[in-house]
């Protein structure tokens, strides 16, 4: 066998490894998305405290734990709560006509769940308590983003490109100075965000009217993904690529809340989603484009924390590997190449 030829057993191991990876990717994706169920959707309530108890009980009987009523003093404050993304809907109790405020731009799944629950509650209520329900969509989705998926599609494109860029930077940029590699990450993040914002805004018109805000969000998100992936690779080698793929591509994308809100995820994934940059970026874009930037502070903090954490990994990788006596190796030398040397006959 030529010295540079990879043994068959190595290729078989690689195939089996990716068969196992296929199981993990498919099972988690399907588990997270196959049966979305609402958990604690916040709904503002204006009305009698006594009636609120019965309404909450009726909602819990229909869908246990799906809705959480929050008391507000008047219709104006409840309406404002919907628009600043504090709640997903608002129910205003009145003697003859009850009002229901929703916002499809916050997620069509949440809007439909709220409307369906309160409509059924009124339908099933005793005749003496039954009133007409008037529903109003305070922030309807525009025709150019009819299903509200443009924000997640925009960020998924940046996610994949940023992940691949980090891998190639790790493979081909090992001989470059660290400052030059970090400069490349910065130029990439800004350039990719500019191109993506031009595409999703002026070119396609899916998210129109917020060009520079989308550039800023996209650049921060791209930097977070690229720095985290590159930092994990610099620290752990090929294993770092797998960790980044699992966390950012698989779990992050599955829990980003693109098709439905994160409140529809299973319990464990719902908690994990709150600290990942993917869902934070989706909420950041939605709230910026449709809600005038309301309630974006938490999202900015999460994404920025990932970018800073990724940068810390990059800066710490060389000292840590030196301390452990493990000089940095590229993907080729740390995977198939090393395996072929191990498996080749003496």
Query: Which pLDDT value is given to residue 321?
Result: 75
Average pLDDT over residues 82-107: 93
Does position 56 have pLDDT exceeding 60, yes or no? yes
State how far the Cα of 276 lies from the Cα of 252, in Å rounded to an integer.
Answer: 6
Looking at per-residue confidence, does 338 or 157 come out higher?
A: 157
Output the CA torsion 59→63→64→65 (10° steps): -80
Looking at per-residue confidence, does 36 or 292 come out higher?
A: 292
Please provide the average confidence, as pLDDT, over all residues in the chain: 88
pLDDT tens-digit series, residues 268-286: 888 898 999 999 999 999 9
Does position 175 have pLDDT exceeding 90, yes or no? no
Query: Which pLDDT value is given to residue 26?
Result: 87
Average pLDDT over residues 308-328: 84
Alpha carbon distances (Å) from 324 to 47, 235, 290, 318: 64, 11, 50, 10
Average pLDDT over residues 170-184: 92
Query: Which pLDDT value is given to residue 2?
Result: 58
pLDDT tens-digit series, residues 133-157: 999 999 999 999 988 899 999 999 9
Q: What are the structural domains of the chain?
A: 41-140 (3.40.190), 145-343 (no CATH)
State how far the Cα of 125 lies from the Cα of 88, in Å rounded to an integer.
Answer: 23
Does position 341 have pLDDT exceeding 60, yes or no? no
3-state secondary structure string, 91-154?
EECCCCEEEEEECHHHCHHHHHHHHHHHHHHHHHCCCCCCCEEEEEECCCCCHHHCCCCHHHHH
Which three-class secondary structure state does DSSP give residue 46? strand
Query: Which pLDDT value is given to residue 3?
Result: 59
Sign of CA dihedral 335, 337, 338, 344: positive
Burial classification of residue 265, based on how many CB atoms lie within 10 Å of its CB (0-12 exposed, 13-18 middle, 19 or more buried): buried
- pLDDT bin (cut points 50, 70, 90) of residue 261 is confident
């Amino acid at each position: 066998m030529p010295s540079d030829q990879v043994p068959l057993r190595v290729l078989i191991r690689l195939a089996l490894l990716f068969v196992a990876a296929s199981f993990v990717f498919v099972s988690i994706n399907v588990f997270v998305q196959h049966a979305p169920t609402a958990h604690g959707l916040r709904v503002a309530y204006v009305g009698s405290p006594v009636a609120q108890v019965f309404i909450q009980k009726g909602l819990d009987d229909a869908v246990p734990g799906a809705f959480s009523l929050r008391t507000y003093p008047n219709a104006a404050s409840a309406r404002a709560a919907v628009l600043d993304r504090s709640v997903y809907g608002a129910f205003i109790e009145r003697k003859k006509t009850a009002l229901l405020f929703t916002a499809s731009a916050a997620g069509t799944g949440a809007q439909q769940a709220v409307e369906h629950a309160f409509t059924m509650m009124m339908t099933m209520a005793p005749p003496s308590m039954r009133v007409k329900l008037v529903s109003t969509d305070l922030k309807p989705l525009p025709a150019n983003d009819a299903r509200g998926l443009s924000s997640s599609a925009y960020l998924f494109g940046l996610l994949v490109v940023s992940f691949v860029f980090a891998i190639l930077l790790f493979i081909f940029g090992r001989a470059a100075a660290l400052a030059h590699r970090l400069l490349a990450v910065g130029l990439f993040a800004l350039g990719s965000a500019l191109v993506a914002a031009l595409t999703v805004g002026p070119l396609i018109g899916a998210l129109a009217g917020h060009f520079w805000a989308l550039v800023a969000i996209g650049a921060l998100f791209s930097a977070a993904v690229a720095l985290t992936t590159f930092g994990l690779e610099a620290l752990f080698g090929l294993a770092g690529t797998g960790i980044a793929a699992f966390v950012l591509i698989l779990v992050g994308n599955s829990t980003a809340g693109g098709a439905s809100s994160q409140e529809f995820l299973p319990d464990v994934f719902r908690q994990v989603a709150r600290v990942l940059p993917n869902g934070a970026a989706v909420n950041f874009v939605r709230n910026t484009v449709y809600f005038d930037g309301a309630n974006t502070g938490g999202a900015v903090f999460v994404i920025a924390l990932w970018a800073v954490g990724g940068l810390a990994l990059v800066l710490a990788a060389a000292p840590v590997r030196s301390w452990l006596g493990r000089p940095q190796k590229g993907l080729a030398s740390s995977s198939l190449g090393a395996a072929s040397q191990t498996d080749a006959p003496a």
